[in-house]
Amino acid sequence: MSSNPGSGADVFAGLNACQVVEQLTTGQGFGPGENISRRNECDATKDDFATYGLALDPVQGLTEFAAANDGEVSLSVNERNALQANIPTGGCAIAMEVGDHARAMVTVSMARYSQDSEACPNARAFAEKVEPLLPQSR
């Protein structure tokens, strides 16, 4: 059991969102990961299918995710506490607990609106692959 990092410590230090996304999507027709902000956040797109994203947030936990999303659903990803919510513009987000004030969030946005019902099953499958690569939430 690791000690609780002090305030301001980045539990994701050394973990790069684009490296994780690329590791998990290699050989599946996705393009290279693109860092989409100054934060540790990355998207990879497979044309005519979907965009898979990963955001490693060392500051906000599940409480903040719940406050920012309506209709979130509690679930477990490989026995890790998580919340799932629809993305208002289309798609699905799953935030996994990494600490009281840290989360890893996967997002899936399908290429076509008609495929939107596939976003959450795809996000759950992607989250199950991401989860073992995350720091323990204890």
Give the chain's residues under pLDDT 70.
1-8, 137-138
The 73-77 sheet, strands edge to edge: 34-35, 41-46, 50-57, 102-110, 92-99, 80-86, 73-77
Return the CATH fold of 17-133.
Answer: Protein Transport Mog1p; Chain A (3.40.1000)
Q: In the chain, what are the domain boundaries?
A: 17-133
Tens-place pLDDT, residues 3-35: 444 445 789 988 999 999 999 999 999 999 999
Supply the pLDDT for residue 8.
56
Supply the pLDDT for residue 137.
63
Fill in the DSSP letter of residue 133: G
**Long-range contacts of range 4-11, CB-CB < 8 Å, 24 or more positions apart?**
4/99, 5/99, 9/58, 10/58, 11/58, 11/98, 11/99, 11/102, 11/135
Supply the pLDDT for residue 89.
86
